Structure 1
Amino acid sequence: MPIILNENEQTGIASIFAQKKKIISPQFFSKSLTGAGKKRGILNGAFFPCIDRAKAVRPPVPYPYKKVTVTTGTSTFEVMPLSLYIQDRLEYDELPGNAECISPDTVPEDQKYYLSLTMDYIILGTDFENKYKSIYCSYDTGIICKNEYGKYEMAVTSSLFIDIDFITAQSPNIDVNMVNEYVNKLTVYDLVQTTAELWDEGIPQIMNAMLETGTDEDIIVTFCQTLNNYSVNLTDYKYIYNSIRQRYPQALEAAANANLNILLNVKLEKLENIKPDIATFKPVPWKNSDINFSPEQITAVTSPEPCCIVQAGAGTGKSTVINSRLKYLQQSGVDLKTVTVLSFTNAAANHIKEIAPAVRSQTIASMIHDIYSANYAHNLSTPDTIINVLQANDDIMEQNPVAQNVIKAFEKMKENTNSGLVALSNIAGSRFAELVNLLDTIRQTTLELESIICYHAADRLIEPASFCRHIIMDEVQDNSIFEFIYIINYVIKHKASLYLVGDCSQTLYEFRASNPKALNCLEMSGVFECMQLQTNYRSNQNILDFANLILSNIEANQYAKIRLHANDFNTRPFAEDVKVTYNDLPGARKLKEHMPGMLLEIKEWLDKKVCNNEQVTFLAYRRSDLKIFEDIIRMMFPQASFINIVPAKNYQQTFFSKYIRLMGNDYTHKAGNDATVEIMRHILGNKEKIGVYNDNADAALKKSVSEWMTRNKDGLAAKDLILQNGVITVKDFTDYAFQTLIEYEIEKNALKLRLTSMRNQQKKEQDISRYNFVASTIHSAKGLEFDNVILLYNEHDSDTEEAKRMYYVGLTRARQSEYILAYNVHKQTSKIKAAYEAICVSKCAPDINCDPKDTDIIENEMGETA
């Protein structure tokens, strides 16, 4: 029998994947700064900072301290504000780690000077027409010396060049040769990396230096706003929160409004304070005869704590625990009508309704929408439609002072979701009535605005009649930080218990603003009782041992420390259940032409599965890779059945609102004419101006125009008669006509979303067991399981936290066996291949000359353990 790796062996092999020391590179700020494969990024190589005033180049963007992408003409500029220095003087208890001594040894220690050089900002420019890249830099120069109190005082100046004359003029104790030698050997790459390391390790020190120096509320708030730009360690946020709360409590509210992570810490402390008042129940002995539960599941099901987090690893029975939790609450005397279960998907919510009809089951978005709809009569729209409508209406832009701020906040959301949410939240917090008035005027809202308005008006909004005393949330790792803030605020208001179930290591939806750090923040807060589910009921131990290698190196798992164990013992050799092949590709775009060879290499394995009538599922990150796999498999196995279960994407249409914004002023209605024909001709005659460049978009536009004409022909004709009678003006008529376009666009998008969701759910629920081959993206396979899995593993991108979490999900889908097709570009060695071979040795697989006596000993030890 193969060996189940003990913790020491597992940790040793996992170190193959782990970095010996966390390496921070310019990619911390943007992948645009460095290249991929053989491509050289603009910072790779000898790109030196400017030290000549005459060569300093002014930035092409007026205010380079907002993280945005700006397009002018044929050029796009990616603006990256990098500086953490909000004030120009700081007082450190200890010398900053990046400080370079610039005084000779003859100078006394307490009179020596030090130099700190980091980046202020970088702007990357791309001229698409001339295919030319450019870079604009600004630098922070910090000059440090000890003051009379023994503190290290740093004066910071920002400039477009490093002014050596200015540095050396600060004191006769500064050696010009030492300055020149240090500055001349630095590249911009070095400075960006140093700045990234400052973001990763130096934030608490900078925060303390600001407070030691003496600061004001505005600077603290600006500092907290700046932290929204990039990823900051949770422990740093905890330090910042505690520092402000203890030393500048008057600034805490404003700081929390500027940064969602700080706001989350504020809400967690309030939750801790009201825990004694939260609804509880009297626990009773659990009666269950249906399923044999593990001790960890029983603990999770029966916990009487008012605030719980069930840290549930892949395949550990999350749904079973939630279903049983509902039964246990009922056994303990809880009326299920007072229980709300919030799921991530409508399908999961509907499942709860089926098994527990009395429970209020929905998604968090629908919960917020119900509350919002009970108070406001706004149509649910999209940010792009609202932007277009506002920009097309000069009267609204002039009369409502928050309109421009709403547009800026939505635009900011495209660059950084949390920064955009903070901006919207600040509008709601300071100008609530004006914001609601604006939405009343356009009769539109968005999911983001709904949650923010419900949060800020929580104490005065009408809520549905159902009485909530207990909240259960499933798949919480996929919730955004603001959704956590909203729910905790809801719990504080209603003094309801909160029971969270999820796995940080399976967070895949960061493009929807989900963030594993949000749940990590709750885990480390001390407010919640944390319980682990580590027994996997899906995969055998061989598969789990391999998945645990990646799991142990996922940053999001740092608090739960989940390590998966199979529910039963496996008698097969490790190399029979898990296989890895590695391919070194000659170029980043060579996968398509090499995939036939990669699959041909495992043809024997595939033949065996097909002959045994076993299903094989192919998982990959990109949809395009699934199509390549499908084409090859259809040629290799022409008689085999195949299904792709990837859901269709939903694309929002903004043809009409964009037309009104860009071309509305050019349309003039002539009384007596058919307005639908006029507008149709005007739209189609200017379709390129609203972004219609291909046949698919052209067909979609024509279909939408036709549907709109059919729906509104009679109404506009009736309105035209009123115009002819002089009751309304041409402008009134045009406004009415344009409003029908907007209403159609909103309804069309809502209908498309419903239909796409319904079709995708039907696709996910269909019986796929009759197919020989299944293809899916890793994201779409989350929550599913398959007999045999082929996982396409791109080793080049596998070191990022997002990639680790994604491949962990991929590696925990198989029940019986998995085959990892790993590849990289111009890399002769492979980490995943090395780890695989190390496990084969450690598990004493039969093909590694294992002594049968050792196997007997292992079996005996496992029996005793069991």
Structure 2
Amino acid sequence: MQAERVLAGLDPEQRAVAEAVQGPVCVLAGAGTGKTRAITHRIAYATLTGVVAPQRVLAVTFTTRAAGELRARLRQLGAPGVQARTFHAAALRQLSYFWPRVVGGEPPKIIESKIGLVADAARACRLAFGRTELRDIAGEIEWAKVTQHRPEDYAGAVATASRKMPADVVDVARVYAMYEQLRRERNLLDFEGMLELTAAVLTEHREVAAQVREQYRHFVVDEFQDVNPLQKLLLDTWLGDRDDLCVVGDPNQTIYSFTGASPSYLLDFTREHPDAKVVKLVRDYRSSPQVVRLANGVIGLARGEAARRHRLELVAQRPDGPDPVFSEYDDEIAEADDVARRARKLVEEGVPARRIAVLFRINAQSETFESALAAAGVPYVLRGAERFFERPEVREAVIRLRGAARAGADAETDGTGLIATVRHVLSGAGFSDRPPEGSGAVRSRWESLAALAQLAEDIAADDPRAGLPEFVAELEERAAAQHAPPLEGVTLASLHAAKGLEWDAVFLVGLVEGTLPIIYAETPEQVEEERRLLYVGITRAREHLSLSWALSRSPGGSRRRRPSRFLDGLTPGTMTPTPARADRAKRRPAKGPQPCRVCERPLTAPIERKLGRCEDCPAELNEELLLALKDWRGRVAADQKIPAYVVFTDATLQAIAERTPETLAELAGIPGVGKVKLDRYAEDVLSLCNGDRPA
């Protein structure tokens, strides 16, 4: 029986979730415990046993990617008719359908970004803000709307919540009020207004509510710890007086309170539904026992009655792995250099670069690690950069694959046939088995197409019968959900952006007081959320885990920083500071931050340290030398089949062209020119600086 096969392979707790086909059900699922597996098998089992028809189920997630993943898994389990959507997508679909009947007239235009309208509102209030402040004010308006606070009570709500303001609270309230006025005048609707208006339509029009509740009788909500008051209002409106609801969440991964999310709905679920079935998933299938032990140690020190009452102690299911590595460095440059070196070593040992991540608390920490990885010859990918499926070469490839599928290009139905067909079609878009000799845009294009070819191999491995039509359907599903295949490069991401993802090796960097916890986390609740953020970072790692911090920001700076309080009692007692490599002494000043060689101001920005001067200070640039260096770099990159920036970054070449070093020591003194670079390229670079053409 197909329904029984759906239950096969589930552990006892997952099976208990799957068999609890009628609500209310609360699933407390720890990191790596297979919560998606549990809830998809629950939905499939409920539909296959006839408890509920697939079209009567609404599974709600927080990202289009997660919704796409749910739909894909449900199709594989034999429940293709289930609706899996985000709150916003479900609300928009309902609002668009009922608008002509209950409102009429021209429907409002949905705005995806508030910043433009916030800027107009600020100008109308005769207030001047930079783009960063406008973005922060937009975030404040979003927080106010999801927590159901109007402009007139915004100031009081901010004081109660102890929020740090991007501007004067009165000015923010004025901009908020003007924003709402302009939005109404221009017939615009933001995402929060969409949820609110949908709930209002269902509340005020009984026939609409009845139709929606007839359509959806069975609800599943993932990541319930991140639900905000406005989303909870809409969910309650959908449910009415029914309780056929399954919620899934992890109180240890509550990290979005600053956006208005409230874990209280998950923690107090049994108070709202006293007869709810509660199942805890604690078997961790993702991480090694060593990683799980550290994660339990960090979250085990959490303070507060709620944390103690709902704590989930993970139980590792994987074989032993290496112990987490704790490293202390003199400065951030040393930390980044060593992380890049160790990432390169992992790649050389066989760990694919796409299965390695460097995670940090704030995005501003990324630049130093970008430079270090580039200098070490390690490819990297910034999470949150250009969307994969919007790249021109990917759009072209999807069109070609879609056309080939319509033309019946793959007669074979085995996995080998799919892989060969996809590679053949992609060859028409410029794909080849070997990376191109060029770099930059050429290499980036090849990597995009290579990711599609790799996806074909992954799909063929999962389903040897899959053909080109199934592959194209998968691509279109992923494009709709922005679920990109992994590119070949070390991932650089913030801890918030890393939630829901996992890697074989994870480097958690910059773990110092003032950064984690962040300096503006002042209340006990805010500090505990920062602890949970570290817990999320730790539980992203499958096997290799590194935690590091730097005692000062700049080389030679005062070593006043101290490791994050969350590591107290968890670091090895015999740990000693990681020594600086010998070659660092040649290129780092002994005392104090590096001074500008023009005005002698201390340099802190990475680009300024590379140039050896402030960006706006005058300098003599040998333009002829710079052109020669770039030409030489292009040839070397092509010969070695690596991106040009891996040889030397533009900033390093500019620094060389400004200083024109004549000796090995002078070249070694330029930031970005370490021992490896000296060994490989010093002879050529010095020849160019002396006016000769390298051999």
TM-score, scaled relative to structure 1: 0.42
C-alpha distance in 2, partners of 1:426/1:471?
33
Aligned to 2:189: 445
- How has the CA–CA distance of structure 1 residues 607 and 324 changed in structure 2, closer, same or farther, with 3 Å as cutoff? same
* Pick aligned residue for 2:318 from 568, 579, 583: 568
Work out which of the residue numbers 334, 340, 347 in structure 1 matches 2:65.
347
Query: Quick check: which has more Rg, 1 or 2?
Result: 1
Per the alignment, residue 383 of structure 2 pairs with 645
Choose the corresponding residue for 1:820, options 528, 547, 550: 547
- 1:512 is aligned with what amino acid? T
Give 3-state SS (helix, strand or coil) of 1:767's partner: coil
| 1:316 partnered with 2:62 | no
Contact 1:341 1:361 survives alignment (8 Å): yes
**Judging changes above 3 Å, is the alpha-carbon distance between structure 1 residues 318 and 617 closer, same or farther for their aligned structure 2 residues?**
same
Change in Cα spacing, 1:347 to 1:442, as seen in structure 2 (3 Å) is same
Opposite residue 633 of structure 1, the aligned amino acid is L
CA distance in 2, matches of 1:626, 1:438: 37
Contact kept in structure 2, 1:353 and 1:361, CA below 8 Å: yes
1:505 aligns with 252
Q: 1:455 and 2:199 equivalent? A: yes
The alpha carbon displacement at 1:840 in A equals 9.3
Counterpart check, 1:767 vs 2:486? yes
1:364 aligns with 2:98: no
Task: Tell me, in whole angstroms, the C-alpha distance in 2 between the residues paired with 1:828 and 1:438.
Answer: 48
Counterpart for residue 351 of structure 2:
614
Q: Is the 8 A contact 2:65 2:478 kept in 1?
A: no
SS at match of 1:361: strand
Aligned to 2:110, which of 380, 384, 387?
A: 380
Quick one: distance in 1 between partners of 2:152 and 2:139? Answer: 13
Q: CA deviation at 1:602?
A: 6.0
Q: 1:824 to 1:295 in 2, by over 3 A?
A: farther
Partner Cα distance (2:277, 2:574) in 1: 38
* Displacement of 1:457: 4.1
- Describe the shift of the 1:563–1:488 C-alpha distance in structure 2 as closer, same or farther (beyond 3 A): same
Bigger fraction of residues in strand = 1
Shift of 1:628: 1.0
Alignment of structure 1 residues 562-601 onto 2, 5 Å: 562-570=312-320, 572=321, 576-583=322-329, 594-600=331-337
User: 1:618–1:337: structure 2 CA closer, same or farther, 3 Å change rule?
Assistant: same
Matched with 2:531 is 804
Change in Cα spacing, 1:426 to 1:490, as seen in structure 2 (3 Å) is: farther
In the alignment, which residue of structure 1 is the partner of 2:679?
none
Gap runs ≥5 in structure 1: 1-283, 395-409, 428-435, 586-593, 650-756, 842-866
Question: Is 1:413–1:421's contact at 8 Å kept on the other side of the alignment?
Answer: no
Please show how residues 129-148 of structure 1 align to structure 2 within 5 Å: none
CA drift of 1:775 comes to 1.8
Instruction: Kindly provide the amino acid, as one letter, of the partner of residue 779 in structure 1.
Output: H
Q: 1:548 to 1:647 in 2, by over 3 A?
A: farther
Seq. identity, %: 20
Aligned-residue offset at 1:368? 1.9
Match of 1:546 in 2: 294
Q: Does 1:787 align with 2:525?
A: no
Which amino acid in structure 2 is aligned with residue 629 of structure 1?
F
Whether 1:287 and 2:4 are equivalent positions in the alignment is yes
**Shift in Å at residue 450 of structure 1?**
2.7
Instruction: Judge conservation of contact 2:549–2:563 (CA < 8 Å) in 1.
Output: no
Offset of 1:647 from its aligned partner?
Answer: 4.0
Please state whether the residue corresponding to 2:325 is helix, strand or coil.
Answer: strand
8 A Cα contact 1:341 1:471, kept in partner = yes
Q: CA deviation at 1:642?
A: 2.5
SS across alignment from 1:288: helix
Paired residues of 1:778 and 1:806 also in contact (CA < 8 A): yes
Could you tell me which amino acid in structure 1 is paired with residue 569 of structure 2? A
Inter-CA distance 630–477: structure 2 relative to 1 (3 Å threshold): same
What SS does structure 1 have at the residue aligned with 2:544? strand
* Distance in 1 separating the partners of 2:153 and 2:336: 54
Q: 1:384 to 1:296 in 2, by over 3 A?
A: same
Matches within 5 A, 1:111-190: none
**8 Å CA contact retained: 1:339, 1:468:** yes
One-letter identity of the residue aligned with 1:578: P
How many Å separate the matches in 2 of 1:536 and 1:419? 33
- Partner of 1:836, secondary structure, is coil
SS, match of residue 821 in structure 1: strand
Please tell me whether the aligned partners of residues 315 and 812 of structure 1 are also in contact (alpha carbons under 8 angstroms). yes
Change (3 A) 1:482 1:840: farther
Which of 463, 488, 492 is 2:240 aligned to?
Answer: 492
Paired with 2:568 and 2:181, the residues of 1 have a C-alpha distance of 62
* 8 Å CA contact 2:326, 2:547 repeated in 1: yes
Q: 1:418 deviation in Å?
A: 6.1
Superposition map of 1:344-743 within 5 A: 344-354=62-72, 355=75, 356-373=79-96, 374-375=98-99, 376=103, 377-381=107-111, 413-414=140-141, 417=144, 421-423=148-150, 442-461=186-205, 462=208, 467-493=215-241, 495=242, 497-522=244-269, 525=272, 527=274, 528-554=276-302, 557-570=307-320, 572=321, 576-583=322-329, 594-600=331-337, 605-606=342-343, 608-615=345-352, 616-635=356-375, 637-638=376-377, 640-647=378-385
CA distance in 1, matches of 2:199, 2:110: 17
Distance 1:450 1:815 in 2: 39
CA contact (8 A) 1:302 1:328 kept: yes
